[in-house]
A and B are shown apart, each in its own frame.
Chain A
Amino acid sequence: MPPAEPLAARGPTRRDPRLLWIAALLLLGARVVLGVLEERHPPRRADMVPWVEPADAAARSRLTGRPILYDFTAEWCGPCQRMEREVYADERQARAFARLVVPVRIVDRQQEDGRNSPLVDSLQRAHRVTVFPTLVVVDSAGRAIERLEGYPGATQLMTWVGRTSARARVARPDGLRITF
């Protein structure tokens, strides 16, 4: 005969998670307040990515064997600002960026100035940029290898950059020795 179960354990299996609800609602309130505060006063940190001028990118790419990463961005773009805070302002991620790719930033000024410089226009047209941010990885010959539209989060972005960079190095067109 199985042992009798303790009396205290009998009864309904349902328990009202009142404390959990209170904690959840308090945290939700704090989240809204902090979200509004951070939106109004975003913590600005210095951009630590060593950006390269578009004109120097191809030469730098040939020299280092790294593919070029074009970051098409705009001042008003919310996800771009998040990416700047979470990725570009982080010393470690910035170092990883510089080790994996030749980073080139292309800032759209259409909304602010009414037009873009011819270089920005031609690059946007060449890479069919319609949304911000758009990241395009190209080889030293200017051939696009992979593109990413939108900001998927710091972790996913760095994984994508690492994977794409490795792919680009394996597929180098100039037949040079591949070094990792």
Chain B
Amino acid sequence: MNATLVRAFLRQRFTSPMRLAIAAMFTFFPLAGLALTGQLAMVQGIAGPLAILFAAGAIGQDVSSGTLQLLLARPVTRPAYLVSRWLGASLAAYGLAAATILLGAGVLVLRGTPAAPLELARVLLEAASSVTGHAAVMIMLSTLVGGLGDLGLYALTLFLSQMAAAIGAFRQWTWLQRASAEVQGVLGPEVSLAGLAQGLPPSWFAVVSWASTITLVLAVGLARLNRRELSYASG
């Protein structure tokens, strides 16, 4: 990891007006929903979209603009670059998600229906798992295509897997439903801690799936980045 790269990435993401406007939309509507219904569940889904927003184009835009060639002329290794991008995107998204969740908890206190501390901790932890998972997937996709093509790849894969799930449900093909659920799990890795309230630990399968997806997509992303020819002579 390279702290300078992480700081520069955070600065770049938090000074992008378009990203900030979309992030404001992502957080405002769930907060409004929370204020109306009094349910903390309204803000627990924002972490994934925020991670996608902040990680989109993290590497692809550097490749397209030629920044990566200049960056790698400095003493920065490709693994350090990739991990810094992943951590930067995760930190940016989690910072905003956690602030929104805490703001939501504050709104609930003002409504006179405060969230239980365990419930709040659960939502914050689930957000952390969701942010790191989604950001890792987007970083991997970003090594495959230039610019913001990773967003398109993500949307296309999600659409195809949902189509497959619908076909599987319609034809009662359990294997297709299972396969599309796995693909969707890879696209949005997160650990559900719903059992905590009942004193139950999270499912080991869910935890291992989340860790496996993150390591696998980062390894694939790094392999792709290592094989990318960046010299100006390569055309």
Q: Which residues of A contact B (CB under 8 A)?
A: 5-6, 9-10, 13-17, 20-21, 23-24, 27-28, 30-31, 34-35, 37-38, 43, 45, 76-79, 82, 86-87, 90-93, 96, 99-100, 111, 130-132, 149-150, 153-156, 158-159, 162-163, 165-166, 180
Contact = CB atoms under 8 A, between A and B. Distances in A.
Given A34-B204, A38-B203, A92-B119, 15 more contacts: A9-B75, A10-B75, A17-B79, A27-B212, A28-B212, A34-B208, A79-B165, A79-B177, A82-B181, A92-B197, A99-B39, A149-B166, A154-B192, A155-B130, A156-B45
Contacts, number: 139
A150 B130 CA distance: 21
Contacts of B195: 45, 90
A159 B42 contact: yes
B222 A90 contact: no
Interface in B150-183: 162, 165-166, 169-170, 172, 174, 177-178, 181
B107 to A, nearest CB: 12
Given A17-B223, A165-B37, A5 B169 contact: no
Interface of B: 30, 33, 36-39, 41-42, 44-45, 48, 72, 75-79, 81, 119, 126, 130, 162, 165-166, 169-170, 172, 174, 177-178, 181, 184, 188, 190, 192, 194-195, 197-198, 200, 203-205, 208-209, 211-212, 215-216, 218-219, 222-223, 226
A20 B44 contact: no
A45 B198 contact: yes
B212 A30 contact: yes
A90 B212 contact: no
Nearest to A12: B77
Given A20-B219, A21-B219, A162 B174 contact: no
